[in-house]
Structure 1
Amino acid sequence: MNKLIITNDFQKAIEEIPHNELFLRDELKMEDVQDIKRTAYIAEKNKKIILIAAKKYNIYAQNALLKILEESPKNIEFIVLASSKHLLLDTILSRLALEKRTYESQKADIKIDNITNEKILELLQKDLEKEEILAILKELLKKDLNEEQLKILNDAVMMIELNIDPKAVLSLIMLSLKVKQ
């Protein structure tokens, strides 16, 4: 049975999910779907699992993928990984069983006393999701902060909950805390 797995950590999910073929992309495009189709139509005696993982799914690629999901070749199972079901068309969602896999995010140990530009850059280079950034901010709220730092962090949490770009908010908060040192 073909399925969609919603996950907050692609690497851990890929390590856990048994598969024979992996298509890992930043954005799934038409040429990727052509490669997936070629791989799927290679005759197999035994079950073969094709894992498709992308941060973004091009709408044209999704439409091309739809046919093979509807009529999968014999012994072929597709597993699609995404960070949100909202990245996929309703027609794709209706053909896949839904499963969620949430992994504990590694807590960033941020020392407010000595935030450097390098530490900020290192944090921003990680591919953190909204929930992970919220977790970092909530951990910072537990630290021994002055009133102004608390206000900055509370404002940042509200901005993220209002769907303002989480990385922009994180960079703003880190730089604000750095300036207040």
Structure 2
Amino acid sequence: MLDLIENSSILIVNDIVSTLEELLPKYPLHSTRVIKNEEKDEFLIAQATLAIKEAYIATNSKKYLFLCGTTFRKEAQNSLLKVLEEPPRNIVFIIITNSKTAILPTIYSRLPYKYLKKSIIKNEIPLNISKMDLKDIYNFLKDNQKISKNEAKDIVEAILLKVNSQKIKLSQKELDFFSKSIKLLELNSRPINVLTTLLLSIANQKNKH
């Protein structure tokens, strides 16, 4: 459970939307602003300009500015540096993103950060491997499209554990899909691509049996 954050901070989270849903009810509505790109998940110079404008609107009580994005454009971050270093009175900036690498070191040097991402519990993936169809695969991939390399490796292992727990028989060639997936992730292949290939391969082989 997330506590009220009173000072400017960076939050690294699994899901930005659910984090906002948990946090926002704890803040006064009239003095809270959420600034994000409504068209895509990237925080651009337009959002940075809006954040700076909001920060310089005088306030007698604390005002909380939530800056949200899966990625933050470099020029947007650079334009925020001065206001983050010397924020106007009563202004609290809370940056919410999915990855530590999305934020420049110069921003990290100005704000403390909280790493709130939770590892996926192995064998707890919401997929019934023995009965999954293309729709199940699509929905699972959609929910996990922003995951990191390490999280993808956890998912590969969780799928293998679930295959074993559901007593699904795979040939040696099919089992090789798993070790191959881990190797591809180690080589920095895109996690979503690796998981797509793995799940489609399992579904394809399962349908042959």
Relative to the length of structure 2, the TM-score reads 0.77
Shift of 1:115: 3.2
Contact 1:50 1:77 in 2 (8 A): yes
CA distance in 2, matches of 1:8, 1:117: 25
| Seq. identity, % | 28
CA distance in 2, matches of 1:177, 1:153: 10
Contact 2:55 2:88 in 1 (8 A): yes
Q: Which runs of 5+ in 1 are unaligned?
A: none
Q: Give the paired residue count.
A: 181
CA distance in 2, matches of 1:101, 1:56: 17
Select the residue among 69, 75, 78 that pairs with 2:93: 78
Select the residue among 108, 114, 131 that pairs with 1:93: 108
**CA offsets per residue over residues 121-146 of structure 1, 9 Å max, x none?**
22222234134433332121112342
Contact 2:120 2:155 in 1 (8 A): no
Shift of 1:69: 0.5
Contact 1:13 1:101 in 2 (8 A): no
Select the residue among 126, 144, 148 that pairs with 2:173: 148
Select the residue among 143, 147, 155 that pairs with 1:129: 147
**CA offsets per residue over residues 19-40 of structure 1, 9 Å max, x none?**
5111133111111111112211
Relative to the length of structure 1, the TM-score reads 0.88
- In the alignment, is residue 5 of structure 1 matched against residue 17 of structure 2? no
Which consecutive segments of 4 or more residues in structure 1 shift more than 6 A?
A: none
Q: Which runs of 5+ in 2 are unaligned?
A: 1-6
Higher normalized contact order (CA 8 Å, seq sep 6+, divided by chain length): 1
Bigger strand share: 1
CA distance in 2, matches of 1:128, 1:37: 28
Select the residue among 110, 120, 125 that pairs with 2:127: 110
